[in-house]
Amino acid sequence: MTDLSQNPCIICVAITGSLPTKENNPAVPITVAEQIESTHEAFEAGATIAHCHVRDDEGKPTSDPERFARLKEGLEKHCPGMIVQLSTGGRSGAGRTRGGMLPLSPDMASLSVGSNNFPTRVYENPPDLVDWLAAEMLTHGVKPEIEAFDLSHILQAAKMHRDGRIKDRPYVQFVMGVKNAMPADREVFDYYIHTVKRLFGADTPWCAAGIGADQITLNDWAISSGGHART
């Protein structure tokens, strides 16, 4: 697996995401075959990490380990060397089903370490679920990507690293632009970077993702500030 701190330009491509459906965008890859095809294009264009969600036969988000297994296998075959990151996010399931694919030992998996509001509901990551997901990642040798929807999530990752719940120096993704969570605010963005450097060292890699209309903004900010971008 690529060393994130050595690579000067990591592009993380989010395959499918958790929200769009064929109805609002017919180009969204839904089947595993479509996902592999579209990721392969991004891989050829230079993407380093594939952040993966999967869908069921009706196109709805799911955490089905069998789907994830087929996607992971396909990506390993068609995009050799690409980092496969599976989502344990809460839009695709509830409770421990969110981590049911971790025994596949992907290179990475997303990990939320706190709770926050989403546009119409609470994004629930209760402490016992966070600890269970982190423990599963330790067991199966999966590197977490910390999804920081707010500042305390970075400090919580630091605490989990200090007490051994997270093995390596945390790799944090700043998520901005989710309604009712953290907006895309340049000052806060800079303070996030400052906080990551303060807590984990000046050379710590990080990445950023803007939601919806803020995606382009966050890519600009991340690339011009030495971070990795998600497209």
Give the binding site for Zn ion (CB under 5 A): 12, 87, 89, 173, 207, 230
CB-nearer residue toward a second copy: 24 or 120? 120
Residue 87 binds what, of a second copy, Zn ion, none (CB under 5 to 8 Å, by partner type)? Zn ion
| E strand segments, 96-138 | 108-111, 116-117, 122-123
CA angle 130, 17, 73 (to 5 degrees): 85
Among residues 185, 201, 212, 226, the one that binds a second copy under rule CB under 8 A:
185
Residue 96 burial (CB count, 10 A) = 15
What count of other Cβ atoms lies within 10 Å of the Cβ of residue 159?
A: 13
CB nearer to a second copy: pick between 60 and 162: 162
x/- letters, 198..227, toward a second copy (CB under 8 A) = x-----------------------------
The CA R_g of the chain, rounded to the nearest whole Å, is 16
Question: Among a second copy, Zn ion, none, what does residue 190 contact (CB within 5–8 Å per kind)?
Answer: none
**What number of other Cβ atoms are within 10 A of residue 144's Cβ?**
26
Establish if 156 lies at the interface with a second copy (CB under 8 A).
yes
Hey, which residues does 144 pair with through a beta bridge?
109
Q: In the set 103, 126, 141, 226, which binds a second copy (CB under 8 A)? A: 126
By a kind-dependent CB cut-off of 5 to 8 A, residue 180 interacts, out of Zn ion, a second copy, none, with a second copy
Q: Is 68 in the site for a second copy (CB under 8 A)?
A: no
Helix axes 186-200, 215-224, angle to 10 degrees: 50
